[in-house]
Amino acid sequence: MTDGPTPRGAKDRPLPIREERLAAVGRRHRAPRSERNPLRAGLRLERMPDPAAIVLFGATGDLAHRKVLPALYQLWRSALLPLDVRIVAVGRRPYDDTTFRADIHDAVTAHARVQPVDEETWATFAERLEYLRGDFDSDATFDDLAGRLDAIDREHGTLGNRLFYLATQSSAFVPIVRQLGRVGLDREVTGDGWRRIVIEKPFGRDLDSAQRLNREVAKVFREEQVYRIDHYLGKETVRNLLVFRFANLIWEPLWNRRYVDHVQITVAESLGVERRGAFYEETGATRDILQNHLLQLLALVAMEPPATFDANALRDEKVKVLRAIVPLTAAGVARDVVRGQYDAGWVAGEPVPAYRAEPQVDPESETETFVAARLTIDDWRWAGVPFYLRTGKRLPKRATEIAIVFRDVPHALFRGQASEPEPDLLALRIQPDEGILLRFGAKIPGLDVDVRAVNMDFGYGSSFSVDSPDAYETLMLDALLGDQSLFTRADEVEEAWRVVTPIVEAWVAGAPPEFPDYAAGTWGPEAADSLLARDGRRWRRI
């Protein structure tokens, strides 16, 4: 299953071990069932999951088309899905298997990471796609699903292993979970395979709703079966943050309040709400990004080294960080949190409308499209070090970055400079130009002793010359393998809401905001700059 012609003489050369195994799995993709025994005889990739049926709820929706199904196709193309895999798509649209497969072919053509689509590979993947039409609150839908899955086990050897993926609106989570419990699709019986459920964000709208949702899920599934997905945790550079911190001793002595002045975490988007105005009106930047992505990045930066590299050890340390974040009072929200909403402006040289002029948005909307916050962590390592978090739509560029800004030297030995040297800085770029930048002072060549900041810049693309997997590829594969390391636990979700809920409640109880308060194409409202300026700091220019 290689792309392009085979180099002359290549068939005479032995393949490297990984390529040989990939080729073997690729050949088995097209082999009849009677010839598939080698897969169970040990000829399998280290990351090859067990045979399974994947049930995708909301399969006709935007998320499934843009992310989930292209990721599954890419895993199949990379020989990282077992031959005995079936995907049952559940949706309300009047499709059958043929029309659904044609629809998903278009989605994969538009969104798959590797292009063009390999039609031979697609054909074998499409054979494993089937469609079940039904409503998520209908008993008949789930009765049919249970029967369909039993038949798949018998006919395709999926061994009772089932992964349920909820790519639906959050209002459908509880009805689907209850129905799965009603028909017994949650139950794991010895020798009858595993059952797991992946739940998309938003996981609740505040602390109370998140707790209620956790209770409803826990009535049906054990915590070990639940995979709450935050796709940022599947990004290659986010995962590398753990390696950067804990596989390199050089940073650990500096990673604390003694040497770090402050931390900035930015998730910037140049796009507006696109066609998701109704969704964004219910969510806003605080629920959409701050509660999950930003707090997850903060936890990874601030966590202590885990005892082992397993799911619970990692998540235990993240939960400790979230619990140590100092709660915000109403006065604290007014002082340390800034919200904004974009007005008309220019992005990438093109005029763009105000948020209130977007489709499906209230013309007098009070929904925030920007939020910045100053948080502190009350623990031994980080006491007194402010963490500045910001996210917004219609900012000048798309960028996600973690910036560790170090303290000034205690004694300014090189005085009388033409300009004040910038503090040392370590920046971890999550997207789009993945890499790590280290800024430090160096002498400018010449007779005088002049100091200027210089950069050492590491880029993933130039250093490894490989195409990183999409976050959804990583997370789908981990869910099939039963690895919860990159998924959030129930208590982790609730602790994040404990931080964010007082912010939302203070805004609801307070005076209406003076929106819009920043032009599209700028870095947010002036109050966000003042948030740092009062501490004698400023946002890093990205």
Q: Given 29, 111, 293, 411, which residue is catalytic?
A: 293
Is the bond preceding residue 202 a cis peptide, omega within 30 degrees?
yes
Closest C-alpha to 370, from 215, 490, 518, 487: 518
- Judge contact between 159 and 193, C-beta under 8 A: yes
Q: How far apart (Å, rounded) are the C-alpha atoms in residues 475 and 230?
A: 9
DSSP secondary structure string for all residues of 8-42: TTGGGSPPPHHHHHHHHHHHHHTS-GGG-HHHHTT
Query: In sequence order, what are the residues at sequence separation of 6 or more whose Cβ sits closer than 8 angstroms to the Cβ of residue 146?
Result: 183, 184, 185
How are strands ordered across the β-sheet holding 435-443? 337-340, 370-376, 386-392, 260-268, 399-406, 425-431, 435-443, 451-459
CA-to-CA separations, 342 to 348, 351, 366, 395, in angstroms, rounded: 15, 13, 11, 9
Identify whether the C-beta of residue 57 lies closer than 8 Å to the C-beta of residue 165.
Answer: yes
- Amino acid identity for residue 377 in this structure: I
Query: What is the Cα–Cα distance from 470 to 235, expressed in whole angstroms?
Result: 7
Structure tokens at 148: 């369909």
Known active-site residue 65: no
Q: Which residues are catalytic?
A: 293
